[in-house]
Amino acid sequence: MKIAFIGLGNMGGPMALNLQKAGHSVQAFDLSKAATDKLAAEGSALGLPIATHAASAAEAAQGAQAVISMLPASQHVESLYLGDQGLLSQLPAGTLVIDCSTISADSAKKVAAAAGARGLPCIDAPVSGGTGGAIAGTLTFMVGGEDAALALARPLLEKMGANIFHAGAAGAGQTAKICNNMLLGILMIGTSEALALGVANGLDPKVLSEIMRRSSGGNWALEKYNPMPGVMETAPASKGYAGGFGTDLMLKDLGLSQENATAVKAATPLGGMARHLYAVHSLAGQGGHDFSSIIQLFTSKK
Ligand code: NAD
């Protein structure tokens, strides 16, 4: 299949590579030349002829049977797809549209409605699993949209992920995603607090991590994404918090969960507290670093 892939950052780049690896022909586009160049270099190192020459999203979408987007936030997705100049107005009827970005459920519904009006099957399909999952092709997809659109998308999602859940109608994938990420934001803070407390008492963070991983405090951060530098070689914490999932992206997701909680009158006190702590961390200049660097709020600078 010819696929246009828009947004080649920490997640989109490896996802696009996995589609090309699976034998699809990917035409990739990103506003950032650095992101496009990085993907072209990785593709050629792997012997994968991924096309990165498109000068715009519309050019990448020429002749494509499917468009997949992996952009930072709602405003980027709306500006890509909607309006007179938006991509939806230029795609031939029947082109499959899959947005994998984490955005508001309302934005996802707007895109789905506009796509439906033009005869374009469309799903929101945000992901979980981090950059490791994107590289390994083991992401979890949380899908919102009609059964028929998901049936068309499933063979492509299977090349990028290991779990595909149909959460409900358009926007439902995004609702599931903000619930998950609110929990992730909270548990990364809790894990950081616990590790910092142990270290302040002289415990070895590796030993403490292993104890908690195998005890009732065990969680995804301790399994795959330890926030303490040097505990887990593959985690962003051991790479200067580079790459991974940016603090500002977590802040965006917690903002979405709090906006939604306000709209439906849900009580999410820990989600609200987590949003404030990531905001403080971002204001301290850590917005571009991986969100697990939140542990720096609790560790000594001495
Ligand atoms: P990123 O910032 O690394 O990449 C986003 C890319 O989109 C950038 O390269 C940027 O230049 C590009 N872009 C922005 N607007 C564009 C446009 N109009 N046209 C083309 N390209 C454009 O972000 P990421 O970490 O890859 O995350 C992407 C999405 O996935 C976000 O919504 C994020 O919340 C979500 N997500 C990220 C992770 C993670 O671990 N990084 C995990 C799950 C979900």
CA 138 – ligand 1 centroid, Å: 18
Distance in Å, CA 212 to ligand 1 centroid: 32
Where does the chain hold its CATH 1.10.1040.10 domain(s)? 175-297
CA distance 291 to 250: 7
**CA atoms lying within 13 Å on the CB side of residue 200:** 12
What average pLDDT does this structure show over 278-302?
94
Q: Report whether pLDDT(109) > 70.
A: yes
- Ligand 1 atom closest to Cα of residue 6: 20
Q: Does the pLDDT value for residue 163 go beyond 80?
A: yes
* Closest ligand 1 atom to Cα of 130: 40
Residue at 266: amino acid letter: A
Confidence of residue 61 (pLDDT cuts 50, 70, 90): very high
Mean pLDDT estimate for the chain: 97
Beta strands in the chain (DSSP E): 2-6, 25-29, 66-69, 96-99, 122-124, 127-128, 139-144, 161-168
Tell me how far the alpha carbon of residue 80 lies from the centroid of ligand 1, in angstroms. 13
CB neighbour class for 256 (10 Å; exposed up to 12, middle 13-18, buried from 19): buried
* Catalytic residue set: 177
Q: Domain 175-297: what homologous superfamily? A: N-(1-d-carboxylethyl)-l-norvaline Dehydrogenase; domain 2 (1.10.1040.10)
- The pLDDT tens digits of the residues spanning 86-104 come to 999 999 999 999 999 999 9
Close Cβ partners of 130 (under 8 Å, ≥ 6 residues apart): 224, 225, 244, 245
Q: What is the arithmetic mean of pLDDT over 150-160?
A: 98
Closest residue CA from atom 37 of ligand 1: 245
The pLDDT tens digits of the residues spanning 122-131 come to: 999 999 999 9
What pLDDT digit, counting tens, does each position of 164-214 carry?
Answer: 999 999 999 999 999 999 999 999 999 999 999 999 999 999 999 999 999
pLDDT higher than threshold 80 for residue 300: no
Distance CA 242, CA 179 (A): 25
- Read off φ and ψ for residue 125, nearest 5 degrees: -140, 60
With the most atoms of ligand 1 within 8 angstroms of its CB, the residue from 5, 18, 27, 30 to mutate is: 30
Give the pTM. Answer: 0.94
Q: Domain 2-169 is of which CATH architecture? A: 3-Layer(aba) Sandwich (3.40)
pLDDT of residue 48: 93
Pairing outcome for strands 139-144 and 25-29: unpaired
